Amino acid sequence: MLKLAQTPVEPTPVPQHVAIIMDGNGRWARARGLPRTLGHREGVEALRRTVEAAGKMGVKYLTVFGFSTENWTRPVEEVDALFELMRLYVAKDLERLVKEGVCIRVIGGRESLAPDVRDIIVRAEQRSAHNSALRLTVAFNYGGRSEIVRAVQRIAADVKAGVLAPEAISADTFDLYLYTHDMPSPDLVIRTSGEQRISNFLLWQAAYAEFIFLDVLWPDFDQAALESAFHEYRQRDRRFGGVIRDATN
Ligand code: FPP
């Protein structure tokens, strides 16, 4: 009988924490003569595909930029549409995500959100808090600079209250005052649509992340696009400020 050689299949390493700037919804819609809001609606479909693909591929943390502190300057109908999509996304997907082991977190300023959106966020976080297969973090009304300023204010308050000594403040301490205090920094930041900017996303946390800019518009993003980003990520030599490693030393 023919015996097949037992070739052990090495699991392909994937980045532990992937952060995505989901850009290009408006251009996707414009190219089809559709209103921008339909581009965002297709963007939610791409988000669904991406959460599923990332979970299947073994990503542990997926952080997406859903609404930035600067997005308030968009026309009011577009802002309303983005909030409505957030409501619908949670209403439609929460129970499935909970069943699939996804833990949902939302980072960003909550005080300026409508009360029902705040309630939806709290419910999604509470319903999924026990899950650990994949942590899905949605940055919503999020801006990296405001997050850093908020951390400084909270550190100053602790110093003033006498619970933190100024000389005890290190980068590790600072991490603890950020929204992302209980997750690792992103290994990979992907931005779609061909733009090459960080746009106030995870400014502190992305200090040593690899950046990959893809030409695909967000509504067209899928598992193949994620795989191509991972493929490129694996070619990168992450040095974290150290020296180039080679086989001779
Ligand atoms: C950028 O495209 C995308 C956004 C401002 C929002 C991203 C939102 C979604 C994918 C859907 C809603 C999200 C959640 C979490 C429910 P753009 O409008 O800037 O595109 P453009 O640069 O082509 O105009």
Which of 20, 21, 25 has most ligand 1 atoms within 8 Å of CB, for mutation?
A: 25
**Nearest to residue 177, comparing CAs of 200, 198, 204?**
204
CB of 22 closer than 6 angstroms to any ligand 1 atom: yes
In tens, the pLDDT along 148-172 reads: 999 999 999 999 999 999 999 999 9
Asked whether the whole model's pTM tops 0.85, one would answer yes
Q: Determine the distance separating the centroid of ligand 1 and the alpha carbon of 39, expressed in angstroms.
A: 8
Query: What pLDDT score was predicted for residue 240?
Result: 81
Q: Average model confidence (pLDDT) for the chain?
A: 94
25 belongs to the catalytic site = no
- Domains by residue range for the chain, with CATH: 17-143+185-235 (3.40.1180.10)
Region of residue 23 (left: phi > 0; alpha: psi -120 to 50; beta: else)? beta
23 belongs to the catalytic site = yes
Please enumerate in sequence order all residues whose Cβ is within 8 A of that of 131, keeping only pairs 6 or more positions apart, or say none.
Answer: 98, 101, 102, 103
Q: Please state, in angstroms and as integers, the Cα–Cα distance from residue 92 to each residue in 11, 46, 125, 209, following that order.
A: 33, 15, 15, 32
Query: What pLDDT score was predicted for residue 237?
Result: 78
Is the pLDDT at 67 greater than 60, yes or no?
yes
First to last CA, the chain: 47
CB of 71 closer than 6 angstroms to any ligand 1 atom: yes
CB of 108 closer than 6 angstroms to any ligand 1 atom: no
- Do 53 and 226 form a contact (C-beta atoms < 8 A)? yes
Q: Determine the distance separating the centroid of ligand 1 and the alpha carbon of 190, expressed in angstroms.
A: 14
